[in-house]
């Protein structure tokens, strides 16, 4: 049977996953943890159209791709992978926080300028704040609905999402034996990322724009 402790969050970190399989549509999922696995390719994420937080840190990814369907994505962690070159056009323009530290692509000529130029709403890149970002005027007119969304993004998840083995058959994972220590580590990692984003937002007085209808 399927257990939904926190229906907006899926945690599959540290599960020795090698590939992201094809899944059924999961429109209600806002946060997805796939860090510290063996994933080599970003793929099959179109089933998460409302995803806003994605962690793929500590995998074997060599190329940033197939992220364009995630038009609501705001936090993306691709740190400590094997990305040698970066095409900024492959990144969703909705991103507010992006981490690519530990990848060779960060040493590209003009890397930071290229990324900042491609992402008009970016607030932080590789743990460094973006100064004078484009789109501040747009965000000043945010509605109350955007505040609700912001609070949801910055709120701490109440618990992990777990599912029956058949649900992610293509991922070949087994969550039944997940230890309490790994859950605590994943929660702490999530809290740290969201605290960074909240600190930036408060310091600059920015609100996220309302999601498209």
What range defines the domain where residue 107 resides? 1-129
Q: How many domains does the chain have?
A: 2
Whether residue 92 is found in the same domain as residue 185: no
Both tokens of residue 151? Answer: 């609070």
The domain boundary residue, chosen from 85, 112, 129: 129
What are the φ/ψ torsions at residue 87 (nearest 5 degrees)?
-100, 105
Residue 70, domain CATH? 3.80.10.10
Show Cβ contacts of residue 54 under 8 Å, excluding neighbours closer than 6 positions. 31, 32, 34, 45, 70, 73, 75, 76, 77
The reply to whether 213 falls in a domain is no
- Identify whether residues 36 and 92 lie together within a single domain: yes
Decide if 143 is inside a domain: no
- State how far the Cα of 208 lies from the Cα of 142, in Å rounded to an integer: 7
CB burial of 109-128 (b: ≥16 within 10 Å; e: otherwise) equals eebeebbbebbebbbbbbee
Query: Within this chain, do residues 94 and 15 fall inside the same structural domain, yes or no?
Result: yes
Return the top range by mean pLDDT from 36-50, 171-185, 186-200. 36-50
Point out the least confidently predicted range of 38-52, 72-86, 123-137, 197-211: 197-211
Residues 6+ away with beta carbon under 8 Å from 179: none
- Same-domain check for residues 125 and 193: no
Q: What are the tokens at 194?
A: 């969201």
User: Tell me, what's the pLDDT at 183?
Assistant: 60
Is the pLDDT assigned to residue 117 strictly greater than 70?
yes
Give the C-alpha separation, 94 to 128, whole Å: 18
- 87 lies in a domain? yes
Q: What CA–CA distance (Å, rounded) separates 58 from 51? A: 20
Entry pTM: 0.66
Q: Is residue 140 part of a domain?
A: no
Whole-number pLDDT of residue 145? 45
């Amino acid at each position: 049977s399927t257990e939904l402790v926190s229906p907006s969050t899926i945690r599959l970190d540290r599960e020795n996953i090698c590939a992201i399989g094809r899944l059924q549509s999961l429109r209600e999922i806002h946060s997805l943890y796939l860090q510290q696995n063996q994933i080599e390719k970003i793929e099959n994420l179109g089933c998460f159209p409302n995803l806003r937080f994605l962690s793929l840190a500590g995998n074997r990814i060599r190329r940033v791709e197939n992220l364009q369907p995630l038009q609501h994505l705001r936090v993306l962690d691709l740190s400590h992978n094997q990305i040698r070159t970066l095409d900024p056009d492959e990144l969703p323009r909705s991103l507010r926080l992006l981490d690519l530290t530990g990848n060779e692509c960060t040493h590209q000529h003009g890397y930071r300028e290229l990324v900042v130029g491609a992402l008009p709403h970016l607030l932080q890149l590789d743990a460094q704040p973006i100064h004078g970002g484009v789109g501040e005027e747009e965000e000043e007119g945010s509605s109350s609905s955007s505040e609700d969304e912001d609070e949801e993004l910055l709120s701490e998840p109440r618990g992990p999402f777990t599912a029956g083995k058949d649900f992610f058959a293509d991922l070949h994972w087994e969550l039944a034996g997940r230890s309490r220590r790994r859950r605590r580590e994943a929660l702490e990692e999530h809290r740290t990322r969201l605290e960074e984003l909240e600190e930036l937002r408060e310091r600059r007085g920015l609100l996220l724009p309302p999601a498209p209808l």
